Amino acid sequence: MRILYLDWPCFGKVDVQFTLEQAGHEFVPFFHKDYQERTSIEFDKAFTEFVGDTFYDCCFSFNYFPIVSNNCQKLGIKYIAALYDNPYVMLYSYSLINPNNYVFMFDKQEYLKLKNGGINTVYYSTLPVNSTIIDYLQEKPYDHEKLSADVSFVGSLYNEDHNFFDRLATVNDYIKGYLDAIMEAQLKIQGYNFIEEVLTPDIIAELQRVAPYQSTPSGIETPEYIYSNYFIDRKLTSIERQRLLTAVAKHCNLRLYTLNKNAVIPNATNMGAIDYYSEMPYVFANSKINLNITLRSIQTGIPLRGMDILGAGGFLLTSFQSDFLDYFVPDEDFVYYESQEDLVEKVEYYLSHEKQRKEIAHNGHEKAKKNHSFEKFFENIFQIVFPNTYD
């Protein structure tokens, strides 16, 4: 097949290109600066001219872009999009119902919300992972001192200046107290997010007063969705990550690998940012314990970070996400925690039980390699998109 690929700066391009070309497909990258715009005459013209008279079996992108969907529909091209972000406001576009769409979502609860709402262009799929890259990387020289840890956390602390939640600083005292209360309540609950449900009309009115949000004409996202997912859940994640990492760092040697080089967790070492391809797999493979504290707006899905840890053969200790249970066995392939106290106890336990820890890491890696490779991912997708060819 000839496959058009939206070449925006995302993770996974190397793996996608290698997988498709190894399978005998033609991989054709296309990029235009307006790919994130809802409408752009420049993009439309460039896309149409690039395609020209050439036949493409499909167009593929990580994440979903309405402008790509609309142009593919106009030119009669199937559009396959695989989400790895959640929340993802572009998904709430009228273009989602375009019949040429095949949108694969890694968060089952978010998928079911759309599917049960009558959207028939969405599908549920875990994210793929390159589980063999670590074998290749381990044969190359690398900085073992930098890229290893007793306990590691790779990711953002969401405590950067000028985050969305800070825009709500001038809400009235009642709303401020209400938001603090619902966040503290949510932090006590794993596996279910109720924030959007408790943003009542009077709360939304005050949030709109201090930080107005207006949906685009081509979108159906609600203020409740935006404030809960982009404002409050990110703040929740920041609070949670700082609290949990601070608690863990009291009991072990914790290393942070984060973009914010000035971020401070008491007793932890901030190692700064690392490269996704050339360094991150080493950290996962060489850490005794890899922590995954899932972004709170990911409802039930297995985040990309969790799959990357398993793919690199690392031991995964994660917040509870029910989608893990569809494919992996707790305490056999990975371990999840249910509270701060439970997290600290499990960190201490698995640091002192090396054989059990290594067995779990091995099991998770083997299962990721067998069932969640890029090859298997595209096989499953193409069976849906091209059922007569991939029976």
CB–CB of 317/289 below 8 Å? yes
CB–CB of 368/311 below 8 Å? yes
Distance CA 168, CA 174 (A): 13
CB–CB of 126/229 below 8 Å? no
The dihedral formed by the CA atoms of 363, 295, 246 and 282, expressed in degrees to the nearest 10:
40
Residue 390 has a pLDDT of 60
For residue 164, which amino acid is it? F
Residue 374 has φ and ψ, to the nearest 5°, of: -65, -35
Which residue matches tokens 């942070």?
256
Annotate 192-214 with b (16+ C-beta within 10 A) or e (fewer): ebebbeebeeebbebbeeebebe
> What average pLDDT values come out for the chain (391 residues) when binned by 10 residues?
97 94 97 96 98 98 98 98 94 96 97 96 97 90 96 90 85 96 95 94 96 85 94 96 98 95 93 95 98 96 97 97 97 97 98 98 97 97 89 56
What angle in degrees, to the nearest 10, is found between the helix axes of 13-22 and 374-385?
70
Distance CA 178, CA 171 (A): 11
Distance CA 338, CA 348 (A): 15
- Cα–chain center distance at 340: 23
Return the structure tokens found at 7.
Answer: 């070449």
* Lateral strand order in the sheet of 287-292: 269-270, 254-257, 149-154, 287-292, 316-319, 335-337
Distance CA 155, CA 280 (A): 11
DSSP state of 38: S
Q: Which of 148, 159, 160 is nearest to 271 (CA)?
A: 148
Residue 214 has a pLDDT of 83
Task: Give the Cβ contact number of residue 73 at 10 Å.
Answer: 16
Distance CA 138, CA 132 (A): 10
* Lateral strand order in the sheet of 78-82: 26-30, 2-6, 58-62, 78-82, 101-105, 122-124
Residue 367 has a pLDDT of 97
Annotate 123-157 with b (16+ C-beta within 10 A) or e (fewer): bbbbbbbbbebbeebeeeeeeeebbbbebbbbbeb
Q: Which of 317, 92, 87 is nearest to 195 (CA)?
A: 87
CB–CB of 210/170 below 8 Å? yes
pTM of the model: 0.95
CB–CB of 245/254 below 8 Å? yes
Distance CA 100, CA 92 (A): 16
Residue 161 has a pLDDT of 61
CB–CB of 129/368 below 8 Å? yes
Domains of the chain with CATH codes: 2-128+373-385 (3.40.50), 133-162+231-371 (3.40.50.2000)
Residue 262 has a pLDDT of 86
**Peptide bond connecting 87 to the previous residue in cis, omega within 30 degrees of 0:** yes
Distance CA 298, CA 321 (A): 9
CB–CB of 8/17 below 8 Å? no
